[in-house]
Amino acid sequence: MTSQILPYYVTANSSSGLYNLLETNLHDCQTVYVLTGPSTVLHEEILSRFQEEVLDTVPELECIYSSTHPDKLNGILIPSMKKAVLSENIVPKQLNNSSYKPETIDTSSIFQPISDSDKTYCKKCSELESASYENAYKNFEKAIKIHDEWEAVYISNMNFEAAEDYTKEIISMMIPLPLSKSEGYIKHRFFGGATYKGSVDFVQEITKNLSKRYFIKGRPGSGKSTIMKKIAAFGEQNGYNVEVYHCGFDPKSLDMVVIPALKCCIFDSTAPHEYFPDSERDEIVDVYAKLITAGTDEKYQAQLKDITSRYNALVQEGIIHLSKAKDYGDDFENTYMRYADKTKLPEILEKLKQQ
């Protein structure tokens, strides 16, 4: 058996701060383990080892990655076993699902007592890390207000009647027939977002096994997210389970909708996650050409250049602060991990593998 791996994020460094979308992804889970303790790096190691041990023994693994370290695991879901193993870093304080009761696995016992000097140093690193994240979020909050200016240019030049008709046309292409009379279920996620590396995404990994991909092209404010919201709602109302991927920068907006039963998706294929068709399964949906007054880009060229310059500067400054936060976090982890006794890890892994 070869396990299919579905990677995504449930947290994002957004203009609203650290945003969390974990809960709907646990909808089908009956067993939820939450790793607690002082070190995220240890959680990542446990999750990586657990992934290695269950890989190719189950049909599918959902791998949740860290918005802090985008190539590191923060959680694993095994749909066939209705099981989740999560780092406490991505678990909200309140989980409002009565189908399971999270079981805590405390990793604190793996660590030897930390010296007073290192404890003081780690406390300082943690404070500096938090301050750096707050500075990043402040920059992103300022940037989103400039983004609103950007959107306003195209909103004021949109044909709203044509937008309604075009949305119906896209829906009929993606969802030709209802699945059932009962409503489906929507899971909310991120396919990427802002990190210390810049913008990252899992678009290609998430869509690689789909039969049809619609690349929606346009400008800010040209209706991309609104169209996708209507597609998701229509799918849910007609009995389809839907995976909705929110914009990591502005979680109120959508970047992708996947309908697994139909093996199709539509996603915002513009910067910073711009892709182009590479096979017969791919089709471009150009909302700028269909819905926006011709010549809008040219008419507002000077204004748009100023807006994009101010917006990009704030985003880049925010990413610099994310990089500083990452460095402070690494200093904390490197210090703490010197006290780890990893001989106790097999016991934790055996617990996680229990049916």
pLDDT tier, 97 (very low <50, low <70, confident <90, very high otherwise):
low
pLDDT digit string, tens, across residues 5-24: 999 999 999 999 999 999 99
Percentage of residues in the chain having pLDDT higher than 70: 98
- d(Cα 218, Cα 215) in Å, to the nearest integer? 10
- d(Cα 158, Cα 165) in Å, to the nearest integer? 13
pLDDT digit string, tens, across residues 126-162: 999 999 999 999 999 999 999 999 999 999 999 999 9
pLDDT tier, 256 (very low <50, low <70, confident <90, very high otherwise):
very high
pLDDT digit string, tens, across residues 309-336: 999 999 999 999 999 999 999 999 999 9
pLDDT tier, 88 (very low <50, low <70, confident <90, very high otherwise):
very high
Name residue 90's amino acid.
I
- d(Cα 300, Cα 78) in Å, to the nearest integer? 50
Answer yes or no: is pLDDT of 93 > 90: no
Percentage of residues in the chain having pLDDT higher than 90: 93
Mean pLDDT of 58-76: 96
Answer yes or no: is pLDDT of 51 > 60: yes
Q: What is the 3-state secondary structure (H, E, C) of the chain?
A: CCCEEEEEECEEEECCEEEECCHHHHCCCCEEEEEECCCHHHHHHHHHHHHHHHCCCCCEEEEEECCCCCCCEEEEEEHHHCEEEEEHHHCCCCCCCCCCCCEEEECHHHECCCCHHHHHHHHHHHHHHHHHHHHHHHHHHHHHHHHHHHHHHHHCCECHHHHHHHHHHHHHHHCCCCCCCCCCCEEEEECEEEECCEEEECHHHHHCCCCEEEEEECCCCCCHHHHHHHHHHHHHHCCCCEEEEECCCCCCCEEEEEEHHHCEEEEECCCCCCCCCCCCCEEEEEHHHHHECCCHHHHCHHHHHHHHHHHHHHHHHHHHHHHHHHHHHHHHHHHHHCCECHHHHHHHHHHHHCC
Angle at 270 between CA 21 and CA 60, to 5 degrees: 45
Are 183 and 252 in contact, with CB atoms under 8 Å apart?
no
The residue ranges of every structural domain in the chain are 4-112+341-353, 158-292
- Phi/psi for 137 (5° steps) reads -65, -35
- d(Cα 264, Cα 206) in Å, to the nearest integer? 11
Answer yes or no: is pLDDT of 339 > 90: yes
207 is written with which tokens? Answer: 């869509």
Answer yes or no: is pLDDT of 39 > 80: yes
Length of the chain: 355
pLDDT tier, 179 (very low <50, low <70, confident <90, very high otherwise):
confident
User: Buried b vs exposed e over 178-193: b needs ≥16 C-beta within 10 Å?
Assistant: eeeeeebebbbbbbbb
Would you state the pLDDT for residue 105?
A: 96
